[in-house]
Amino acid sequence: MTALADAVRAGDRRCLARAITLVESTRADHREEAAALLDELLPATGGATRVGISGAPGAGKSTFIEALGLHLVDAGHEVAVLAVDPSSTRGGGSILGDKTRMEELSRSAHAYIRPSPSKGTLGGVARRTREAMLVCEATGFDVVLVETVGVGQSEVAVAGMVDLFLLLLAPGAGDDLQGVKRGIVELADLVVVNKADGALADLARHTAGDYGNALHLLRPRTDGWSARVLSCSALIGEGIGEVWAAVEEFMELARTSGGLVARRGEQARDWMWSEVSETLLERLRADPRVRADVNGLEAEVVHGRTSPTAAARQLLERLSD
Amino acid sequence: MTALADAVRAGDRRCLARAITLVESTRADHREEAAALLDELLPATGGATRVGISGAPGAGKSTFIEALGLHLVDAGHEVAVLAVDPSSTRGGGSILGDKTRMEELSRSAHAYIRPSPSKGTLGGVARRTREAMLVCEATGFDVVLVETVGVGQSEVAVAGMVDLFLLLLAPGAGDDLQGVKRGIVELADLVVVNKADGALADLARHTAGDYGNALHLLRPRTDGWSARVLSCSALIGEGIGEVWAAVEEFMELARTSGGLVARRGEQARDWMWSEVSETLLERLRADPRVRADVNGLEAEVVHGRTSPTAAARQLLERLSD
């Protein structure tokens, strides 16, 4: 582990991939090695700006991330792009699996694109992405972009591991937002209306204005920072610099106010406890005495034939049988 | 238990109070009796319209709930008012403890006001309120209002136990909403701007308009229903009838669309699983092998000296020591 940790800290890309494959493994012995590796790497982590990016299908997320990533690389940053997508079941298992989605960025020596782990619970996928983020930071990446698909609970998980949460929208009225799950708008520190070019330019500005007014009515996620709305065109590369400038302004505020340290501390504590309860639930579900009729009990509860309290007691009693 | 269950079903108020005290007890033997009681009562539950009411301090929640409750009683309803407030530590332990808050309603023979259980985790308090709700339904209450304070996570818990979630606001701009926790606006099926009387009447209408526009940009919590904004004056009793008419319209839609059955089924399943994980976590935290240094480990994690994964593993290993 120490050798691998050293190689990762030295910035060896092949070892980075090996390390991430290790933390993504669900094998018990691998989990143990991963925990040891992470503890070794921990002191070398925390140096990156962590940005979560979510958006409805059709908002142009891949084009935006490629444009933002290339902008950052040109500015001398080392950029890692990770993804959380529990729904993903494809081979590479990812919304990022299709390399053609970010062809140019994926060819850059200063960018690393990692597909979402293909299977597992949201908790599992999120855990592995969190750990992959730490490995990337230890390797020297100073910007980590965590993409999520905007249609599941994964946004909450991603907001729980990043410093700033960015919501990408296509120009248009609220109906276009149906693809974005409820609650996500209120998670956003930064809302970006993409596709502000050609025929959609005016509509994009109009949409940005609407959200500016709406966000004024929502409580900001970060104290001292009121969520901002910008528009850009990832296609022609317009407004990307302004988006990153807003991110840096946010980070500057979070660093000086102490909010960054506080948020990361809370995130780490929540992460520990979700690890604990995820594991306890996994053990319960995997217990043969429980597995036998958990589905039956669930159905009983859903159809109101057994009270949730009683059903929970039955499941728990099985453990002590 | 059967005798108590019969008395509850017969509408005996003294037994109602005894039954709720039982479900609120944390004593192991009481929990067992409570589970048995709930299973007996279960077939007699589900008949009520379940409304969650949240609002920032100063929105006039108690005045609103009293006005709404009296309106419902006049219309021939039997109204139970419960509360979820884990922060509450007062004697009666409740945001509803102070009877003077709803003097007239609390004197009505057709209303029952139950303070929030005074201590315990949010999970614990929410569980007991859910169970108290079932007991009230079995007693024959056809409307259950669940109040929450609008400043904690309890809103999500309440939204998880009611059919419709109502957010009460005072007239004014977004800044007045600082008291309402982020995410709550997006939980609301119905937003009501209170205090639409006297000098504030115009501002209230203006505020309602702003939220109408904002909610248009947020995804509705309930399919087929777009969150609505109304204004009222609980003080002079204006607009209360319109608020309840909207609730009934919502319920009608939810019943005919099958959405009500579906939501309650999901709520019951989620409830079962939160019961299970709450209990597993309680057991872990109570375990002497864990309790000893859980705080120390938590601090290690918060300050980045131990990775959350490793800390979680250590806590779990203690159990198998």
Average pLDDT value for residue range A150-172: 86
Q: Could you say which of B181, B220, B276 has the minimum Cβ distance to residue A312? A: B276
Are residue A60 and residue A151 in the same domain, yes or no? Answer: yes
B137 near B46, Cβ under 8 Å? yes
CATH number (domain holding residue A185): 3.40.50.300
Residue B91 has what pLDDT?
Answer: 39
Decide if B310 and A273 are in contact by the 8 Å CB cutoff.
no
pLDDT (tens digit per residue) in B207-256: 898 888 878 777 777 778 888 999 999 999 999 999 999 999 999 999 99
- The CA distance from B103 to the nearest CA of chain A, in Å, is 33
Which residue of B lies nearest to A161 if distances are taken between CA atoms?
B308
- Domain check: are A243 and A307 in the same one? no
Q: Is the pLDDT of residue B195 over 60?
A: yes
Q: CA of A279: which chain B residue's CA is closest?
A: B316
pLDDT confidence of residue B89: 47
Q: Are residues A197 and A307 in the same domain?
A: no
Cα A294 to Cα A286, A317, B206: the distances in Å are: 10, 12, 51
Q: Give the pLDDT confidence score for residue A89 in this predicted structure.
A: 47
What pLDDT does residue B100 have? 56
Summarize the confidence of residues B110-116 as an average pLDDT: 88
B186 confidence band (pLDDT: 50, 70, 90): confident
Taking an 8 Å cut-off on Cβ atoms, the answer to whether A185 and B217 are in contact is yes
Whether residue B97 is predicted with pLDDT greater than 70 in this model: the reply is no
pLDDT digits (tens, 9 = 90+) for A26-50: 888 998 899 899 989 999 999 999 9
Nearest CB neighbour to B268, from listed A42, A308, A313: A308
pLDDT the model gives residue A164? 96
- DSSP letter for each residue of A214-237: HHHTS--SBTTB--EEEE-BTTTT
Task: Tell me, yes or no, whether B104 and B197 share the same domain.
Answer: yes
| Inside any domain, residue B265 | no
pLDDT of B101 over the 90 cut: no
Minimum-distance CB partner of A309 among B35, B174, B284: B35
Pair B232, B144 in one domain:
yes
Closest CA relative to residue A168, chosen from A146, A190, A196, A199: A190
3-state secondary structure of B177: helix
A125, part of any domain: yes
| Same-domain pairing of B108 and B148 | yes
Q: What is the pLDDT of residues B121-164, one digit of tens each?
A: 677 778 889 999 999 999 999 999 999 876 567 888 899 999 99
The size of the A-B interface in CB pairs under 8 A is 196
Residues B146 and B174 in one domain: yes
The reported pLDDT for the residue numbered B155 is 82
Say yes or no to pLDDT of A207 above 80.
yes
- In terms of domains, do B12 and B69 share one? no
Looking at residue A93, its pLDDT comes to 39
pLDDT in tens, A250-260: 999 999 999 99
Question: Is 50 exceeded by the pLDDT of residue B90?
Answer: no
Q: Is the pLDDT reported for residue A178 higher than 60?
A: no
CB contact under 8 A, B279 and A312: yes
Determine, yes or no, domain membership for B264.
no
In the structure, what pLDDT confidence band is assigned to residue A100 with cuts at 50, 70 and 90? low
Does residue A69 belong to any structural domain of this protein? yes
B312, pLDDT greater than 70 = yes
Cβ contact (<8 Å) for B39 and A303?
no
Q: Band the pLDDT of A92: cuts 50, 70, 90.
A: very low
Residue B286: CATH number of its domain = 1.10.287.130
pLDDT over 70 at A245, yes or no? yes
CB contact under 8 A, A213 and B214: yes
> How high is the pLDDT of residue A112?
94
Structure-model confidence comparison of residues B53 and A123, the more confident one: B53
Q: Cα separation of A302 and A94, whole Å?
A: 32
**A92 plus A139 within the same structural domain:** yes
B191 and B216 assigned to the same domain: yes
Question: Both A32 and A61 in a single domain?
Answer: no
Q: What is the mean pLDDT of chain A?
A: 87
Per-residue model confidence (pLDDT) at position A321: 67
* B296: confidence class by pLDDT, cuts 50, 70, 90: very high
pLDDT in the model for residue A249: 97
Q: Kindly list the strands in the beta sheet with B164-169, ordered across the sheet, starting from the edge strand earlier in the chain.
A: B111-113, B79-84, B143-148, B49-55, B164-169, B190-193, B228-231
Residue A195 has pLDDT above 90, yes or no: yes
Instruction: Give the residue carrying structure tokens 């966000």.
Output: A215
**Is the pLDDT assigned to residue A88 strictly greater than 80?**
no
Contact B5, B38 (CB under 8 A): no
Percent of chain B at pLDDT > 70 equals: 90
Residue after which a domain boundary falls, among A205, A230, A256: A256
> Would you place residue A216 in the very low, low, confident or very high pLDDT band (cuts 50, 70, 90)?
confident
Query: Which of A38-42, A122-126, B90-94, B134-138: highest mean pLDDT?
Result: B134-138
Q: B-chain residues within 8 Å CB-CB of A279?
A: 312, 316
Which three-class secondary structure state does DSSP give residue A101? helix
- What is d(CA A117, CA A137) in angstroms, rounded to the nearest whole number? 18
Residue B275 is nearest to which of A181, A221, A309, comparing CB atoms? A309
φ, ψ of residue B32 to 5 degrees: the values are -65, -50
Within-domain flag for B141: yes
The reply to whether residue B309 touches residue A277, judged by beta carbons under 8 angstroms, is: no
Confidence (pLDDT) at B115? 79
Q: Is residue A207 situated within a structural domain?
A: yes
Looking at every residue in chain B, the average pLDDT score rounds to: 87
Let me know if residue A131 belongs to a domain: yes
Residue A262 lies in a domain: no
**How many domains does chain B contain in total?**
3
Task: Looking at the structure, tell me whether residues B53 and B97 fall in a common domain.
Answer: yes
The residue range of the domain holding B102 is 45-256
